[in-house]
């Protein structure tokens, strides 16, 4: 199953690049949803063939939330705000892709500095997770629409979750559920805020939010 | 027992959502806060048994911060009663047609206040890293609607920034938790459990490399929540746009909860023999926060932003104290308590002044003492308290931190510390003194645009709901400066040694 696991991890890495290079919000939301499904596969593949029912249930719930419910909330937000594209990002899409290559390099470097002795963990696990975290951070600071920032937050959260799957599987269920709940509520609250933003400012471009400063 | 502490606010919050009438809901808010305070006092004095495999337990540090949380919340809840009554009063004629915003539903607001209390209580009693994370994230989510109580473009902007910056920060803290899990896994222990007491017992066997990385991420994560420079950017916006008692809670209580989370991480590092690493980072963050915040205090044009930057400065003092340790560690604990009292009181006074002048500009709001004598006096007392003047408790605690710094022979740190405090004193008094005693010419010659609109003079009546809460805080702040009850002093010592800063 190791080969399949690596394939999933590579797909996750590519999805990060896709997020960096795409201007269509719909497509980005779909990408984040696909990441949710892939993340659900990771624990199943890495524990195969002894998957406990508990593990399967947690994986299924996390996939459900990350691949169905959260994308639904984000889609609703863009429908209400009536935006389809990230029009004028602070860093252009081609440049973002170049940055992405740099981020991948940083991730590989950091991962090499933090060695994992265990054999059961794929060597791609740590760099891919760090890469997704960095991609999320980059999206949050370099994009203007609030929806895109929320997508960036989700990508960041996915990266952290992927890292968690690799190591923290034996943690009791409660914590995982708490984490999922928090992310769910977080995106929910962000969705409501985006809704208010679009009504109040007629736009969800966050660079319009500049009345508070020193 | 400990479940009750979290359960009471949650149940009352749900009731608040169901209740259709405003008055009973406000009564319920105060009742819930009072009940929580009584339970907290009982819990602190009776040492309740740990719950949920020991994940929820109350140690000395938790007790100290539980008292602060519960006490300040009770005061803020009383203030909220008067505030909500004032906000929901029907506007008259021209005011109603020109009202710039409609408020958020009061039921949701009250419920969120209580959820906020519940999540902060959970932060304080968490003895498990995962649970602590869930609780801290919970505080962000419960407080975001509070900041957006006034449905106004500016408060929306503040809410978005708060939500985004804090969520990202907290997400990094989650990564820190996972790194911690790896540090356990890569150690000889095998097995995974993130319970704090378990980790502290076996701290020396943890993998130091991963532990250090975990500490860095946790510091950035909870440091964002605490508002350490350069992670403080949401703070002035959120504090200035939130209703005043919410600002008081954010500054006086929530920052302390984040500080407690950092102390927990520090305590683990100390027990793992990596104390020097975390100490140096604390000192660095503390000094930078103090220096930058004190510069932003000068010529500040918005008195609530002024208080926010002062909050950043005091957070710097707290982590500096914890980083230096010894007498400074104890001083830092005492300062957490004193700062909560003084800053909450100032924010409540600012709420009264804002209701009077309807502007946060320090250029327009002047001469508060002539219109609201009691609030004016509160401002002056608060100014003395927050700048660390005797006889207030802050004087004592800031002096202790300085003593700790000099005991350790860190004279350069001491110099920066003193300089920042002096600059802050000048900056704060230069803004607050004109606000209180200044010449209110701005209003003397100004004709009201609407004949039936109330001017500041007519709005100057001060109600007891608006005055009693900050007055109580002022009295406690003075008393603690003169006389520290022995049980409290003991608790402070225990708290400091529980988290390894003394």
**What is the pLDDT averaged over residues B383-395?**
90
- Kindly list the domain boundaries of chain A, sorted by start residue: 2-208
**What is the pLDDT averaged over residues B117-141?**
91
Q: Please name the residue of chain B whose CA is at the shortest distance from the CA of residue A152.
A: B168
Q: What integer pLDDT is reported at residue B340 of this predicted model?
A: 95
Residue at B364 is within a domain: yes
Residue at B117 is within a domain: no
Residue at B334 is within a domain: yes
Residue at B457 is within a domain: no
Residue at B246 is within a domain: no
A190–chain B nearest CA distance, Å: 8
Cα–Cα nearest to B169, from B104, B128, B227, B209: B227
B238 touches chain A (CB under 8 A): no
Question: How many CB atoms are closer than 10 A to CB A143?
Answer: 26
Kindly tell me if the per-residue pLDDT of B135 is higher than 50. yes
**In contact, A155 and A139? CB cutoff 8 Å:** yes
* Domain, as residue range, for B355: 274-441+463-502
A117 with B186: Cβ contact below 8 A: yes
B213 touches chain A (CB under 8 A): yes
Q: Is the dihedral of CA B118, B120, B126, B131 positive or negative?
A: positive
Q: Give how far the C-alpha of residue A97 lies from the chain's centroid of Cα atoms, to the nearest Å.
A: 17
Provide the 3-class DSSP secondary structure of residue A214.
coil
Q: Which of A36-40, A200-204, B370-374 has the lowest mean pLDDT?
A: A200-204
pLDDT tier at A203, thresholds 50, 70, 90 = low
**In contact, A34 and A67? CB cutoff 8 Å:** yes
pLDDT tier at B85, thresholds 50, 70, 90 = confident
**CB-closest option in A116, A163, A185 to B175:** A163
Q: What angle do CA B69, B74, B79 make, to 5 degrees?
A: 125
Q: What is the dihedral of CA B312, B313, B319, B320, to 10 degrees?
A: 160
**CB-closest option in A175, A193, A211 to B159:** A193
B256–chain A nearest CA distance, Å: 21
**What is the pLDDT averaged over residues B294-321?**
92
Instruction: Report B:466-495 residues touching A (Cβ under 8 A).
Output: none
Q: Which of B256-270, B443-457, B461-475 has the lowest mean pLDDT?
A: B443-457
CA distance B416 to A107: 37
Domain count, chain B: 1
**What is the pLDDT averaged over residues B39-54?**
85
**What is the pLDDT averaged over residues B469-488?**
91
Q: What angle do CA A126, A127, A133 make, to 5 degrees?
A: 90
Which of A167, A192, A203 has the highest number of chain B CBs within 10 A, making it the mutation to test binding with B? A167
Choose from A82-86, A190-194, B155-159, B235-239 the range with maximum mean pLDDT. B235-239
CA distance A103 to A17: 10
A54–chain B nearest CA distance, Å: 17
Q: What is the dihedral of CA B392, B395, B398, B400, to 10 degrees?
A: -100
CA distance B31 to B142: 20
CA distance B281 to B319: 9
**What is the pLDDT averaged over residues B374-382?**
92
Place of tokens 């010659």: B445
CA distance B375 to B395: 22
- Which pLDDT tens digit goes with each residue over A12-68? 999 999 999 988 888 999 999 999 899 888 888 877 777 778 778 878 888 888 888
Kindly tell me if the per-residue pLDDT of B97 is higher than 80. no
pLDDT tier at B307, thresholds 50, 70, 90 = very high
Alpha carbon separation from B423 to A174, A188, B175, B426 (Å, rounded): 48, 42, 37, 5
How does DSSP assign A45-63, residue by residue?
A: HHHTT---HHHHHHHHHHH
Residue at B474 is within a domain: yes
B40 touches chain A (CB under 8 A): no
Q: What integer pLDDT is reported at residue A68 of this predicted model?
A: 87
- Which pLDDT tens digit goes with each residue over B413-447? 999 999 999 999 999 999 999 888 887 655 544 44
Q: Is the dihedral of CA B382, B386, B387, B392 positive or negative?
A: positive
Q: What integer pLDDT is reported at residue A47 of this predicted model?
A: 74
**What is the pLDDT averaged over residues A204-208?**
71
Return the number of CB contacts < 8 Å for A and B. 112
Kindly tell me if the per-residue pLDDT of B360 is higher than 90. no
Q: Which of B457-466, B469-478, B490-499 has the lowest mean pLDDT?
A: B457-466
Q: Please name the residue of chain B whose CA is at the shortest distance from the CA of residue A165.
A: B178
pLDDT tier at B78, thresholds 50, 70, 90 = very high
**What is the pLDDT averaged over residues A154-163?**
86
CA distance B289 to A54: 46
B215 touches chain A (CB under 8 A): no
Kindly tell me if the per-residue pLDDT of B112 is higher than 90. yes
Kindly tell me if the per-residue pLDDT of A121 is higher than 80. no
- Which pLDDT tens digit goes with each residue over B169-204? 988 998 888 888 888 877 665 555 778 888 888 888
Kindly tell me if the per-residue pLDDT of B239 is higher than 90. yes
Q: What integer pLDDT is reported at residue B409 of this predicted model?
A: 86
Kindly tell me if the per-residue pLDDT of B226 is higher than 90. yes
Residue at B359 is within a domain: yes
ipTM over 0.90: no
B153 with A211: Cβ contact below 8 A: yes
**What is the pLDDT averaged over residues B269-290?**
92
B312 touches chain A (CB under 8 A): no
pLDDT tier at B450, thresholds 50, 70, 90 = very low
A179 with B192: Cβ contact below 8 A: no
A160–chain B nearest CA distance, Å: 6
A170 touches chain B (CB under 8 A): yes
pLDDT tier at B343, thresholds 50, 70, 90 = very high
């Amino acid at each position: 199953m190791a080969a399949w696991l690596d394939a999933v991890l590579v797909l996750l890495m590519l999805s990060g690049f896709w997020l960096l290079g795409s201007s269509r919000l719909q497509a980005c939301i779909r990408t984040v949803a696909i990441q949710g499904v892939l993340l659900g596969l990771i624990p199943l593949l890495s524990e195969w063939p002894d998957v406990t029912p508990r593990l399967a249930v947690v994986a299924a719930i996390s996939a459900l939330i990350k691949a169905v419910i959260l994308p639904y909330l984000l889609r609703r937000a863009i429908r209400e705000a009536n935006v389809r594209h990230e029009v004028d990002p602070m860093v252009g899409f081609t440049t973002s892709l170049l940055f992405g290559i740099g981020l991948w390099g940083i991730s590989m470097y950091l991962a090499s500095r933090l060695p994992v002795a265990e054999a059961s963990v794929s060597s791609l696990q740590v760099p891919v997770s760090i890469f997704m975290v960095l991609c999320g951070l980059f999206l949050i600071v370099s994009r203007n629409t609030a929806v895109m920032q929320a997508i960036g937050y989700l990508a960041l959260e996915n990266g952290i979750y992927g890292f968690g799957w690799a190591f923290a599987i034996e943690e009791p269920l409660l914590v995982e559920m708490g984490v999922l709940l928090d992310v769910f509520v977080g995106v929910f609250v962000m969705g409501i805020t985006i809704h208010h933003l679009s009504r109040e400012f007629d736009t969800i471009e966050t660079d319009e939010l500049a009345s508070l400063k020193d | 027992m400990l479940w009750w502490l979290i359960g009471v606010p949650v149940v009352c919050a749900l009731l608040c959502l169901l209740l259709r009438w405003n008055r009973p809901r406000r009564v319920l808010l105060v009742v819930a806060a009072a009940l929580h305070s009584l339970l907290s006092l009982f819990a602190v004095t009776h040492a309740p048994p740990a719950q949920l495999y020991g994940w929820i337990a109350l140690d000395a540090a938790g007790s100290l911060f539980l008292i602060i949380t519960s006490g300040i919340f009770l005061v803020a809840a009383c203030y909220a009663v008067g505030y909500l009554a004032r906000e929901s009063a029907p506007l008259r004629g021209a005011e109603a047609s020109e009202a710039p915003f409609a408020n958020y539903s009061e039921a949701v607001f009250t419920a969120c206040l209580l959820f906020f209390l519940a999540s902060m209580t959970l932060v304080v009693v968490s003895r498990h890293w995962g649970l602590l994370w869930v609780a801290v994230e919970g505080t962000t989510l419960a407080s975001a609607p509070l900041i957006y109580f006034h449905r106004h473009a500016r408060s929306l902007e503040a809410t978005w920034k708060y939500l985004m910056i804090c969520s990202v920060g907290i997400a990094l803290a989650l990564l820190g938790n996972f790194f911690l899990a790896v540090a356990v896994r890569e150690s000889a222990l095998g097995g995974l459990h993130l319970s704090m007491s378990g980790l502290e017992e076996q701290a020396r066997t943890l993998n130091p490399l991963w532990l250090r990385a975990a500490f860095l991420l946790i510091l950035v994560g909870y440091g964002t929540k605490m508002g350490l420079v350069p992670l403080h950017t949401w703070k002035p916006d959120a504090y200035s746009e939130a209703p005043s008692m919410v600002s008081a809670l954010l500054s006086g209580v929530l920052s302390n909860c984040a500080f407690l989370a950092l102390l927990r991480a520090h305590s683990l590092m100390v027990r793992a023999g990596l104390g020097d690493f975390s100490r140096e980072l604390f000192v660095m963050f503390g000094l930078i926060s103090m220096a930058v915040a004190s510069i932003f205090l000068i010529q500040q044009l918005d008195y609530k932003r002024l208080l926010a930057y002062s909050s950043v400065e005091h957070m710097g003092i707290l982590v500096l104290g914890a980083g230096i340790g010894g007498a400074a560690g104890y001083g830092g604990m005492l300062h957490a308590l004193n700062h909560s009292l003084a800053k909450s009181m100032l924010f409540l006074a600012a709420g009264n002044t804002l209701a009077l002048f309807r502007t946060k500009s320090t250029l327009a709001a002047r001469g508060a003492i002539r219109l609201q004598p009691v609030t004016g006096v509160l401002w002056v007392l608060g100014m003395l308290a927050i700048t660390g003047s005797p006889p207030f408790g802050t004087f004592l605690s800031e002096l202790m931190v300085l003593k700790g710094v000099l005991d350790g022979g860190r004279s350069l740190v001491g110099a920066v510390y003193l300089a920042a405090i002096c600059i802050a004193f000048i900056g704060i008094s230069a803004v607050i003194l004109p606000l209180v005693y200044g010449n209110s010419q701005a209003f003397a010659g100004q004709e009201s645009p609407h004949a039936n609109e109330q001017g500041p003079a007519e709005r100057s009546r001060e109600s007891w709901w608006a005055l009693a809460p900050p007055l109580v805080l002022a009295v406690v702040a003075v008393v603690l400066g003169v006389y520290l009850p022995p049980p409290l002093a003991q608790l402070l010592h225990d708290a400091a040694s529980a988290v390894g800063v003394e």
